């Protein structure tokens, strides 16, 4: 009987959780250096900012005092684990069928009825895979938010402009990339909060992410089997 969560998925989730935690907390420290966001290529004057964010407290940052150089070092180190891990999990999901079986959506998954039923169910991954809302949310995170974090992070990296200036142009400029990076980071934060709340409501979900869990035989004709 196949586990609900393959070993590759479990390893990636824990490594990715650690990497994202470090990236997010060091990112807050980096944000404290200049708390204003802009669109386009340039931005330095707060009056031209489309958003000015709060100064994040020391307990929410790595390190727990303002140190831009050290925060960037930690951030860049965690970014390697994040980027390599993202490439790994996509290769693994396509190879072992996890994407096709559990995450690929069908047109009916996007119906209002399916969304409402999924919210009512709310207990987490079932023995036959993920419910429609979970497939949609995981698809957005894995297919949109995480890649956005990677590519916008590369675009705002000081030395990357000479390597692939087309990426900066594609994102509308270095400051636009920085703004999108910030938005995507908080989108992932929101997903993690919801994910933890739902997981804590059913301790078996957390246990399954350690042991793999057990997948019951899927009924014949399942679109995601």
**Interatomic CA distance for residues 206 and 219, integer angstroms:** 25
Burial status of residue 200 (CB atoms within 10 A of its CB: 0-12, 13-18, 19 or more): exposed
Architecture in CATH for domain 7-211: Up-down Bundle (1.20)
- Least confident span in 6-10, 182-186, 218-222: 218-222
**pTM listed for this prediction:** 0.82
- Least confident span in 57-66, 121-130, 149-158: 121-130
Helices within the chain (DSSP H only): 7-31, 68-96, 98, 112-121, 132-140, 146-156, 165-170, 174-200, 203-211
**pLDDT cut 70: percent of the chain above it:** 83
Please check the confidence at residue 218 and state whether its pLDDT lies above 60. Answer: no
Please check the confidence at residue 210 and state whether its pLDDT lies above 80. Answer: no
Q: Please, are residues 55 and 36 in contact by the beta-carbon 8 Å criterion?
A: no
């Amino acid at each position: 009987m196949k586990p609900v969560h393959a070993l590759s998925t479990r390893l990636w989730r824990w490594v990715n959780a650690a990497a994202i935690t470090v990236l997010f907390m060091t990112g807050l420290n980096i944000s404290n250096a200049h708390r204003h966001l802009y669109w386009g290529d340039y931005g330095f004057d707060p009056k031209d900012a489309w958003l000015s964010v709060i100064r994040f407290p020391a307990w929410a940052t790595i390190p727990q005092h303002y140190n831009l150089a050290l925060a960037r070092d930690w951030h860049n180190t965690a970014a390697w684990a994040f980027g390599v891990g993202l490439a790994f999990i996509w290769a693994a999901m396509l190879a072992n069928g996890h994407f096709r079986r559990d995450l690929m959506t069908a047109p009916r998954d996007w119906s209002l009825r399916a969304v409402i039923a999924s919210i009512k169910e709310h207990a987490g991954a079932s023995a036959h895979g993920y419910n429609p809302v979970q497939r949609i949310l995981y698809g957005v995170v894995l297919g949109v938010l995480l890649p956005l974090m990677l590519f916008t992070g590369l675009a705002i990296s000081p030395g990357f402009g000479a390597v692939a200036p087309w990426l900066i142009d594609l994102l509308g400029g270095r400051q636009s990339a920085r703004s999108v990076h910030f938005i995507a980071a908080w989108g992932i934060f929101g997903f993690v909060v919801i994910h933890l709340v739902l997981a804590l409501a059913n301790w078996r979900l957390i246990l399954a992410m350690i042991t793999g869990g057990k997948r019951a035989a899927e009924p014949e004709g399942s679109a995601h089997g």
